[in-house]
Amino acid sequence: MLKRIVLAAVTLLLATSVFAEDKDIVPHGGKPKPIEVEATRPFEPEGRPLEGLILTIDPGHGGSAHQPGYSGSARGVNSRVIEGDLNMLVAGQLFHHLQDAGARVYMTRRDDRKVAPGDSDRAAELGARTNLAEKTQSHLFLALHHNSAPRATADGVVILIYPKDKAGNEQPLEKQFAAILREEVEKKVHHNEKFDAWENDHPLVSGSDIPSAVIEFGFLSNPDFDAWVSVKGRHREEAIGAYNGVVRMWTEHRAELEAKRAELFPDAKPVVPPPSVDPDDRLEAAMTRLAARLNPSGVAPKTADQADGYIELYKKVILSDRTSYYLNVSVEGEPGAWRLAGETNQPILKRAAGVLVEALGYKPLDNQVRLLPSGKLGAKKFGVVQIPMAFTWGEPREGADVQTQLLLGEPVFLLDETEDGSYLLLHGGDSYVGWVRSETVRRMDAEEFGAWANSPMARVIRSEHANDLVIPGGAVLPLVSLAGDTTATLTLPSVVGVIKKGPTIDLPASSVASVAGDVGARVVATALEYLTVPYVFGGRSPQGIDCSGLVGVSYSSVGLVLPRDANQQAIVGKLVATPWYLDGLRPGDALFFIDETGRVIHAGISLGGTRFVHCSPPEVQVSSLDPADPLYSKTWHEAFAFARRPLP
Ligand SMILES: [Zn+2]
């Protein structure tokens, strides 16, 4: 048994000194400044004005550059931007706006490829696009293009339609669609000339009797328009213009569009709008479904004890990661006065457990679950492991269900302590939650902890015995000084037992290596390159990307290959921040967000501080965890679980 150790006051940053001419160990202490960026909030539709609408959008071109016989396509006269890529960016944004507004939206393509398979000819390719609108029984078909002309001064929005059906009858809806689109797109998009709708028997607009239009947003052959459209993020203006056009068309002509669809598709089923993306609705629905699965009889439980089994099942079967989250709750009381007691370290799990227990029949329920860290820890709710190695346990007793082992110098986040103060509940550096003997940890307040974390660090790469103390390989400790190639002086968390001479210790220089550099800033710089790129599920490219795709390509730029999905990425790296401690965030740290089942569903990259770059529909954007920041996101703030530093 370890005896209680009296902590000596330790100066953490003993010296800025020396760091001589050593090439291998480069000091890089101090907390880097957050990276500043000019960022705006993405466009958000108001309400759900498009419920009931089905629409197919067709990003023009794609895939032809890798086909035989390719002879170039429309490109920016100076910027060299490729038309097909630009069309894709506009479509990617427009897709989310329309869907958020309640429309059912189909896209002919989501990456750089042809729509018809193989070496198809032009007719097959264009036919494949209008066919999708037929197959999905769409109300409207909208193709997105950019123009090019021999006359370099040509500069304006052109809407292409063919207002006759296959039988030769007039199609007034198409003329109305063209007029509305032109008006709304011109409001948002650079143009010097006004063009009337262009009526032409082009297969994209004559191939189907569904009201169809092509928007040519502007002439890439015009230097002014090219300069306007090639500014990063401009495709958003084009998408908003098109979105406003569709909303007006649906609002002003819904009855005619419904009648047209009924005429074209007599067997068409009623349209079911996509579900709302409101996270509160989702949690409620998910926990109600779960309650029905756990208690199929639906008979309301009569005693508090009956809840234990259900809660155990929720934790074992549903809560996907039981290593990082602490949830210890139980029902108390009697019918008419149920209480949910216990504690958790994640606000969303408190809410989820409450909704679940209510859905099981414990109604009304007073949700008294305590959010950790516990207030009784006071200011010193951080710490550093001060003994060479220490197991963490599933319960506050020796040997109970080993979770992991902590190493000397490891930073920990405290969550709770037992009544007698002999055990602490904490998050280790690997984010595992467990109980340790309280003398394991040198407790610190936020300031002291920050000073420790931002010291120049060295990693012990070979276990060493120093003054009868094991300094385990893998331990990371503040580096005080280096004397040539021979001695590295490290700071210990405290004066432990046999170390008589003070809070520092000397090791052979060959047994330590430096930690980190400013690679985090490079990760951020790569991520910011993708700002305004539309969210495309599964995407990893400048044409469309998803949340973990963005994290993956950004780290890849500094040579670190992370797993594909957010829930896999979330297990890599040292824990550096939690919902109640954001001061540890440095540029490049990876942030993770969970849903009501504890599953990591989202990832982003810290700019240092509370801002982070991430990809969430409609686009790659910067958001903040700070309610005072104009970029604050309540949704992601509530879902934020922890941040890790996957970099060395
Ligand atoms: Zn085109």
pLDDT along the chain (648 residues), means of 10: 31 30 45 85 93 96 71 84 93 96 95 84 90 96 96 96 94 96 98 94 93 97 97 96 98 97 93 78 85 85 87 78 82 92 90 92 93 93 89 86 84 93 89 89 91 84 80 85 80 62 74 70 91 92 91 88 86 87 92 88 94 96 96 92 88
* Paired tokens of 209: 């009797």
Cα 204 to ligand 1 centre (Å): 11
- CA distances 305 to 308, 312, 367, Å, are 6, 12, 16
pLDDT at res. 72: 62
- Distance (angstroms) between ligand 1 centre and the Cα of 146 equals 5
- The DSSP element (H or E) to which 242 belongs, if any, is helix 235-264
Q: What is the SS3 assignment for 259?
A: helix
Taken in order 632, 636, 640, 643, the sign of the CA dihedral is negative
Distance 57 CA to ligand 1 centre (A): 14
Span from the CA of 183 to the centroid of ligand 1 (angstroms)? 20
User: Residue 121 Cα, ligand 1 centroid: separation in angstroms?
Assistant: 16
What are φ and ψ of residue 178, in 5° steps? -60, -45
- What pLDDT does 15 receive? 29
Q: Which residue has the tokens 């756990």?
A: 294
**Predicted pLDDT of residue 67:** 66
CA of 84 from ligand 1 middle (Å) equals 7
Centre of ligand 1 to C-alpha 456, Å, is 55
Q: How far is the CA of 544 from the centre of ligand 1 (A)?
A: 19
3-state secondary structure 514-541: ECCCCHHHHHHHHHHHCCCCEECCCCEE
Q: Which pLDDT tens digit goes with each residue over 177-207?
A: 999 999 999 999 999 999 999 999 999 999 9
Q: Which uninterrupted H or E stretch holds 175?
A: helix 172-188
Residue range 443-478, pLDDT digits in tens = 999 999 988 888 888 888 888 887 777 888 888 888
* Residue 248, amino acid: R
Angle formed at CA 331 by CA 326 and CA 336, multiple of 5 degrees:
145
CA distance 188 to 207: 29
| pLDDT number for residue 499 | 47
Cα separation, 277 vs 462, whole angstroms:
51
CA of 216 to the centre of ligand 1 (A): 7
Please give the distance, rounded to the nearest whole angstrom, from the Cα atom of residue 538 to the centre of ligand 1: 26
If you measure from the C-alpha of residue 166 to the centroid of ligand 1, how many angstroms do you get, rounded to a whole number?
24
- Residue with structure tokens 């508090």? 304
Distance (angstroms) between ligand 1 centre and the Cα of 537 equals 25
What is the pLDDT, as a whole number, of residue 242?
A: 98
